[in-house]
Amino acid sequence: MHTHKVTRELSSQHAEAMEALRREAAAVAAAAKEAAAREAEVVTTTTTAAEAGTFDEQACNLRFMALRQFIELTRRGAGKPKPWRLTLRRASLVSDFSPYISNTNAL
């Protein structure tokens, strides 16, 4: 009798879990459908604006500023100079320095 009660409780919990999964799946499907509708609206609006020949100056300026910021940040990160580790003596400055630059001048 006790096992029958446990089985019934497990069956009830399983049914509740399945119902929760169904509700969650329905919510995800509704959100996906809503996102697809918004995307279709954006594409339609963009296509209509492009066909009409209108020019959104503010959007263009925002994109241009974002591009400039991206280029500036990339430039700052790409060209970090590394300090030279040279051993130079005042008495033989040219002979000490020439081995460092001789590889760069070789063709």
Q: Determine the average pLDDT of the residues in 87-106.
A: 77
**Which amino acid is residue 2, in one-letter code?**
H
The pLDDT, as a whole number, for residue 72 is 85
The pTM for the full model equals 0.36
Full DSSP string of 76-87: HHH--PPPP---
Q: Let me know: does 83 contact 99? Beta carbons within 8 Å.
A: no
CA dihedral 36, 38, 42, 48 (to 10 degrees): 90
pLDDT at 45 exceeding the cut of 70: no
pLDDT tens figures, 71-96: 888 777 766 666 777 788 888 888 88
The pLDDT score that the predictor gives to residue 33 is 79
Phi/psi-derived region of residue 56, left when phi > 0, alpha when psi is between -120 and 50, beta in every other case: beta
